[in-house]
Chain A
Amino acid sequence: MAAREIRSEEITAAVKRLFLEANTSLGDDVRRAVEAALPLETSPLGRHALEMILENDDVAKGCFLPLCQDTGLAIVFAEVGQDVRLVGAPFRDAVEEGVRQAYRDGHFRPSVCHPLTRENTKDNTPAVVHVEIVPGDRVRLAAMAKGGGSENAGSVTMMLPTAGLKGVKDHVVDVVRRAGPNPCPPVTVGVGIGGAVEEAALMAKKALLRPVGSVNPDPSLAALEGELLAEINALGIGPQGFGGRTTCLAVFLAVKPCHIASLPVAVCIQCHAARHREVVL
């Protein structure tokens, strides 16, 4: 069977479009969740914050302005079918070019710098690119513009293997409690349990691609997600930390076996703007 060809220009165009869209409008899932939370929010300042979030989405769409001035570190998850032949520029270059064009043409803030000198790279590259080889002849691209405020609230912890389910749950809730208003609640929370130190973090981050309102196909994890969501929303942090019951819109869990000596747990927090989009080529 001949491999299906996908040109690098298609990758670049797709990445560009995904970042332009993600940065300038709320996802339908988030918009619906905020609208649903509004009448249930008991805190007047919390309701005020939720109303402003919706109004901001309208203005951003209308004026093609970014939802947030922090247009994020560009993160791309690519699932490349093993029957695909990528032609043209190297894959990573094609992705970087899409990021570069989106941030230039969208008038997005270049938010990437050298970690030590703090010198800005000026075009928001390099992106963080994760590639997975999967069956089939398609390429799935997911683009996430990840803000620094919410990213700084994340954590990777090597827990004691004996900590158990309760230990893990308490830890996740505690990470969100300590973050408080800093990551711009209402947040979504991705949790990676198991694997190894880097895989837990990757699972937690990738879990944030799930739509708010989606149900985990594993019934026991679905139940656990519901319990964590309820515990987090009982903290009282509320929208923007102004108090109330809308602290978290969704918890997404990903679990994988790990070493008998280890229990890696990563918690990745996403702000209410939750900017991500995906496409299948």
Chain B
Amino acid sequence: MRPVIEIATPLTAAACRSLRAGDRVSLSGDVITARDTAHRLLCEALARGEGLPFPAEGAVIFYAGPCPAPPGFIIGAVGPTTSYRMDPFTVPLLKAGVRGMIGKGKRSAAVREAIKEHSAVYLAALGGIAALLSRCVTQNEILAYPDLGPEAVRRLTVRNLPLVVVNDPWGNDLYEQVLSR
């Protein structure tokens, strides 16, 4: 296992190309939360020729719907949801400039191919450790679709969010690698 690699947003193609499936990563900077319905709405906006409600270039999308913040907390528990549900909406977002996705679980062949094509990366946050992950969040702000409640699009500023590289831009897939060993 290589030592933990520190990366920051916005993500560059070069930063993504330095990563390999199985690397542990510590990510700092801004990430954008979006999950099921938000993905549909973002892609509909792109199809209409409209922009995204955040700077797309080098953006990292976190498939997450956090718990409400208890009094005195910046955010409630926050962690990844299962990523495959966002597969049908991921390629247009990568084309628009998004360069990283944080979630958990397997991606489709089309998404893995697009990750290669756009020199992007798919990172796993550990599922079910959302109390721990919430401590990495230093700012939390709703950017779009507040009516979606826990599924609203938010900008989270994170410090040292612990992640693992699943799909690197070289075509490697951690989940497949471990099974073939």
Contact = CB atoms under 8 A, between A and B. Distances in A.
Contacts of A148: 81-82
A241 B91 CA distance: 24
B181 A243 contact: yes
Contacts of B106: 180-182, 241
Given A66-B130, A68-B128, A109-B68, A120 B150 contact: yes
B135 to A, nearest CB: 7
Given A69-B79, A107-B68, A120-B150, A49 B126 contact: yes
Nearest to A55: B132
A149 B69 contact: no
B84 interface: yes
Interface stretch (A198-206, A207-215, A230-238): A230-238
Contact of B105 (A55, A107, A108, A181): A181
A22 B131 CA distance: 14
Nearest to B151: A120
A188 interface: no
Interface string B1-35: 10000000000000000000010100000000000
Contacts of A110: 149-150
Contacts of B77: 60, 65-69, 71, 109
Interface stretch (A2-10, A40-48, A164-172, A250-258): A40-48
B11 to A, nearest CB: 22
B76 A180 contact: no
Interface stretch (B45-53, B59-67, B111-119): B59-67
Contacts of B164: 45, 240, 242
A52 B130 contact: no
A184 interface: yes
A53 B124 CA distance: 15
Contacts of A107: 67-70, 76
A102 to B, nearest CB: 13
A60 B36 CA distance: 26
B128 A272 contact: yes
B126 A241 contact: no
A59 B132 contact: yes
Nearest to B176: A180
Contacts of B70: 64-65, 107
Given A65-B77, A69-B67, A53 B178 contact: no
A108 B149 CA distance: 13
Interface in B95-143: 104-106, 124, 126-132, 134-135
B132 A184 contact: no
A273 interface: yes
Size category, B interface: 35 or more
A207 B174 CA distance: 32
A241 B122 CA distance: 14
A66 B66 CA distance: 10
Contacts of B36: 118
A14 interface: no
B149 A120 contact: yes
A44 B1 contact: yes
Contacts of B174: 241-243
A79 interface: no
Contacts of A48: 24
A78 B161 CA distance: 40
Contacts of A71: 67, 77
Interface of B: 1, 22, 24, 36-37, 64-70, 73, 76-79, 81-82, 84, 104-106, 124, 126-132, 134-135, 148-151, 162, 164, 174-175, 177-179, 181
15 contacts: A56-B131, A64-B70, A66-B67, A69-B78, A108-B68, A109-B65, A120-B148, A147-B128, A182-B82, A183-B82, A236-B179, A238-B178, A241-B124, A241-B174, A242-B178
The 9 closest A-B pairs by CB, nearest first: A243-B178, A56-B129, A184-B127, A182-B105, A60-B131, A65-B131, A66-B77, A69-B130, A56-B132
